[in-house]
Structures are given as C-alpha cells and as structure tokens.
Amino acid sequence: MVLSLDLNQPSAICRDYPLALEAIRNAGFDPQPVADAGEAKGGHVVGSAEGDDHGHGFAGGISRLVAALVFATGAEVLAFFAPDQMAWKVAGMAIAALAIWLAGIDTYKKGIAALLRGRLNINALMSVAVTGAFLIGQWPEAAMVMALYAIAELIEAKAVDRARNAIKGLLELAPEEALVLGTNGAWTATPVASVAIGATVRIKPGERVPLDGMVTKGNGAINQAPVTGESIPVDKAPGDQVFAGTINETGELEFEVTALSSNTTLARIIQAVEQAQGTRAPTQRFVDRFASIYTPAVFAIAVAVAVLTPFLMGLTWLEALYKALVLLVIACPCALVISTPVTVVSGLAAGARRGILIKGGTYLEDARLLKAVALDKTGTITEGKPKLVKWQVWGGADETEVQQMAASLAVRSDHPVSKAIVQGLEIKGPEAENFKALPGRGVEGMVNGVRLTLGNHRLIHEQGLCGPELEAELAIQEKQGRTVTLLADESRVLALFAVADTIRETSKQAIVDLKALGVTPVMLTGDNAATAMAIAAQAGIDEARGDLLPEAKLDAIKEMQKRYGATGMTGDGINDAPALAQADIGFAMGAAGTDTAMEAADVVIMNDDLQRVAETVRLSKHTHAVLWQNITLALGIKSVFLVMAVVGTATMWMAVFADMGASLLVVGNGLRLLRRARR
C-alpha cells in the first residue's frame, strides 16, 4: 500500500498533523521521502506497510521510460534479426542492460534495500527475476519486461493518485488571502494564516470564503457544497455562519472571523479524513496478513520449481530457472494488496464530497452491518426551531385585532415560543404597557387599555377560562405534539396559537430509505412521550421513547444492541455524546462548525439531511462489494497464471502483463466509488 501526503501545502491544513503521522505509523507505515521530489509531483511522502511495500510510486520520468522502451525494442530486434555472432550478442546485451538501467534503477535500489532487510516485495521479486533472466541469456525479454513493468507502474501510480488526492483537492478551496478591515478603516489583503479571531473580513460575489465566521453585514447566497454537500445555495444574513472554502454566489458580505485558518471546519474535515486514511479497514487488515504469508510461500514454490523440476519433469536447469523466474513475477501481491486501500480511500472521498465525513475505514465497512438506528428528535428528525403551525380566533373575536394584540405581547418576550408566534404572525401591534413576565406560565400586559394574558394551558386553567369545548381542542393539539399558547382578556379566551418543532422535509424519505435497507429506526428523545409519538407518527417511525435523559438514552442503546444487533445512534453530538459513544456507529447531525460533534461521532453529517445516514449504509455496502470484487479478481488472475507457469505455458511477458494488468483492473474498479460523489 502506498499513502501520499503533500507536505508542500501549508501546515494549517491540519492543526494536529503530527498526530495524523503518528496514526499512520501506528497503522504499520514507515513514512519516508520520495527519492525524486520532482517526479513525485512536489515532494510527497510515501509510506509503506510492512509486508506490502511493492513500490508503486512514480517509477521515473516519462522521457526516461520512453527511452528504455526504445532500447528494449532495439534489443529484441537485434536478437531476432542480427547474425549469431558474439559482437552482435554483446551489442544486444549492452542495449538491453541500458534499457534495464533506465527503467529499473529505482526498482533495483528498492529491491536491494528490501532484500537486505529480509523482505520479499515486488521490487525484490522483479530485481531477482530480471537479473536471472538476463544471466541465463534471456536478455531481450528481461529488458522488455522491465520497461513494460516500469511504464505500467507509472500508469498505476497516477491512477492510484486520484484516490489518494481526492480529499487533498479540498485544500485548494480556501483562498490564501482575505480582505481584512484594518484599525485605520482600510481594507487590506492579508494572508489567512495571519488573520486573528474577531477580525472583520469582506467577500464579494463570486469569491470563496477564506475563513469560518459569522455574518455581520449584507445578504447573499452561499454555495456550501464543498463542506456540507448541499447542492442548493443557502441564504445568509447577519447572524448566520459561513465556512471556509464555500462560495459567495450573490451579494457582498462582511463577517467576523470565528476560527483560525488552522481550525476551520474545512481544515478539520481534511484532518479527520487524513487520519482515517491512516487506519485500516477489516478487509484491508485481512489482506495484509494474507499477503505476508502468500509472498514467501510462492517464493518458496519458485525455489522448489528451480530445484526439483529438472528431476521430476526432465527440464534442463536453464528451463527450470526460467520457469521459477516467471513464477516470481507472477507471485507479486501488488493487485491484491493495493486493491483495498484504493477502494477504502475512494469510499472515504466519495462520502466526504457528499457531506458525509467517515472517520475511518472500519466505520465505512461496518455501516453495512447496522440493523437499527436510534434517532434523536430535536435537530435530527425535526428542524430544532419552533414554528407557528396553526392559530385560530376563539369566541367570535376579531381576527385582525387578535393578531395585533398577540404580537404586542409576544414581541416583548424572549421565550422561543413567543418568538415563533411573532415570526408566524408577521404583523406589528401597538406598544404593550405594564408588561410583566409570568415565569413558567406566560406574559401579561395592557394593549389599547385592555389587560391581556398570553400564556400556556396551565395559566388559562388557573384563571378559570377553560371550558369543555376549549379543553377538547387543546387535547387535539397537544396530542399532535404541539405547544399551545392562549390569548385571553379578563373574561374570555380570544385565540389559541399552536407552536411545534416541525419535522424536516427529508426526514420521511430518510425513514423510508432506512427501512428499505433493513435498518429499524427508533426515536429516542428527552421530550414528553405524547410529543415523541406524534413526531414519530409523522416521520413514519414505529417505535418512539420519550422522557429520556442522556443516561437513559445510553441504556436504550445497550438494549437495542441486544435486541437488534449492530446499532447506530444519530444525534447532535453534545447531549447525546454517551449514546453516540456506546453505539456501534455514531452519526453526528448538523455538525458544521461543532468541535464536540466531530469528536464524539464516528460519522459526521455536515448538513442536517437525515437521508445521509441511509446513504452511508449504501456506500458501505457498495464499498464492501467492490473490495471483494477486487480480491476475487486479483486472486483469480494470479491463480490462473500460477498454474500456467508451473505447467510451462506462461512466459515472463505474460507474467508481467498478468501482474500489472490485475493491478490496473482493481485500481480502476476501486476508483468507481468516486463517481458516487458526483451524484
């Protein structure tokens, strides 16, 4: 496996970059610089896992490989057409040696280093095979095999680079400079790394947001797709958040910086994905263990073929040695070992581009095993913001007058329910006098000389204004999970206002998607049981539990794990932290800009779309299928050519095509996952 991290980018991409490198080392990697930084596209760091260091880096410059191929072809032509004289043979061998040196110098360096460490990898196998073929007189074939191998390796390395760099493209999203308001009132272009928290930044239409912040002036629409995966621009006004790397499509905005460049939401996404790439998925760990046994075993078989076939099959020693050398080339586990990291990284990148931040290959693979998902209500299934969903006059009161009186009282209160009433009525009333808050009940005041109260069911009941008909209406509203506020004067109720935390537009479809995947959704909420059942019914959830404190949610997750098996938890990542930690996979919702959510959860949904949970399960199933397709492809092709080599029908040319062809097939198959990000 080859892992590439670009150190030429600013260190701000990851505040804990040393921790990311440590995670890579803990996963079995040994980071070391590429020999030729110019050919490695700007100085990448290439890490190799023990037992799978097959050296699929950039084999050399294209011009050098083209020259090697030309010389190898020349060696083949001389061997075929030149007279059988020593001078022509020496010339052919010299040209072949030159081709091998041009194409294989890096392979030989790595191969010798691996042999000195007692390791058998592709570089060691190719070094031994090509050298052996040259020494037994197959120098034209040795030259062509090395040239073709190096060219195929370069093609594969560039293909693999697509997966490795899929997330790295995010680095280019945030601009390097920001237009900052100075103490003298002038706007100055300043490097983002030098911009402090609290500074005021201006962005014009068409520009990318350089840092995270809170809008202080202006209105506009921001394309947040790079961070949240949302395809529709989001309207922004004073008080709204903006994220680094997003695009201001309309209107000039000014915002106050809320995070340093090293700690923006975008930087944390990159950090989390890079750390995820340093951890190994279950299938990848299995393949690595298998390869560590497979390669020495086939090497031993090759030695046995070289030693025993002259006695058992009547071959000459040169024929037996050639057969063994072909086996060595075929034995390379490149396709097998490289198939898993390419597929996993492609899956992680596909998720991130859709606003799904999966924090490790383990979670990417294991999401397919989920049998149930616990869902928090507020902010997950619902919007998390109360709205006025219904209001009606009572007792024949005048509608316009009632609106104005209710607005006059509600506008003076900071209570979320009062704010929802003001926003829902969208009307202004006269100034309320003698205004007074009634804690736990509502508010009262004088409007146009009339003493009014705007309060809950309890307050109106205490005032003796609830009749049987009103009680019946209140019961209907409360059964639907609505909070009812009533407007009354000293003798009668004038109107009632039903406020509710409405479900998200996507929640119903998200529940349908989960059920279609065989995942049982269960609502766990701290709200009362009646509200929980009402919201669950609207969303299509069959089981809901209310009145749950964080500890009770934790116990509920444990019970679900016993009843269903693998269980996920979806919440806001703060109050639900214990349950998120207990669940097999924790999903944090609405986590853009929330440190706690990103730390507590295994999967972070960067927008508030509950459908992304089902999409994660589908991506997991698809990734797992591609992983095993690749393993089957790699082992199947190897098995066929190993048998052909043993019976003597495979040549070294066929061996190198089998090895590199299989590698390119599995890489291409793994990269298919990136297409999911474009849907």
Query: Of 485, 558, 569, 575, nearest to 521 (Cα)?
Result: 569
Using CA of residue 218, residue 224, residue 226, residue 231, what is the dihedral sign? negative
Distance (Å, whole) CA 598 – CA 587: 9
Residues found in the chain: 679
Written as six digits, the tokens of 424 are 């829902």
Distance (Å, whole) CA 225 – CA 607: 9
What is the end-to-end Cα distance of the chain in Å, rounded? 29
Burial of 403 (0-12, 13-18, 19+ CB in 10 A): buried
Q: Residue 621: which H helix or E strand, with range?
A: helix 611-647
Written as six digits, the tokens of 572 are 């806001």
User: Mind telling me the catalytic residues?
Assistant: 376
- 551 to each of 38, 159, 455, how far by Cα in Å? 56, 48, 32
Q: By the 8 A CB rule, do 668 and 155 touch?
A: no
Distance (Å, whole) CA 181 – CA 457: 51
- 225 to each of 144, 383, 590, 593, how far by Cα in Å? 48, 20, 14, 15
Q: By the 8 A CB rule, do 281 and 341 touch?
A: no
Per 3-state DSSP, the chain is made up of helix, strand and coil in percentages (nearest 5) of 55, 20, 30
Q: Residue 436: which H helix or E strand, with range?
A: strand 433-438
**What is the residue type of 417?**
V
Provide the 8-state DSSP code for 678: G
- 601 to each of 575, 577, 621, how far by Cα in Å? 12, 8, 20
Distance (Å, whole) CA 583 – CA 577: 10
Distance (Å, whole) CA 79 – CA 73: 10
- 391 to each of 394, 397, 429, 458, 578, how far by Cα in Å? 10, 13, 17, 18, 39
Query: Of 628, 592, 626, 624, nearest to 608 (Cα)?
Result: 592
Distance (Å, whole) CA 355 – CA 344: 17
- 365 to each of 282, 359, 520, 614, 624, how far by Cα in Å? 8, 11, 19, 14, 6
Using CA of residue 17, residue 22, residue 26, residue 31, what is the dihedral sign? positive
Query: Of 479, 610, 599, 631, nearest to 541 (Cα)?
Result: 610
CA atoms within 13 A on the CB side of 274: 27
Tell how strand 220-223 and strand 247-250 pair up.
Answer: antiparallel
Task: Give me the helices (H) in 257-281, please.
Answer: 265-277
Written as six digits, the tokens of 142 are 């040795």
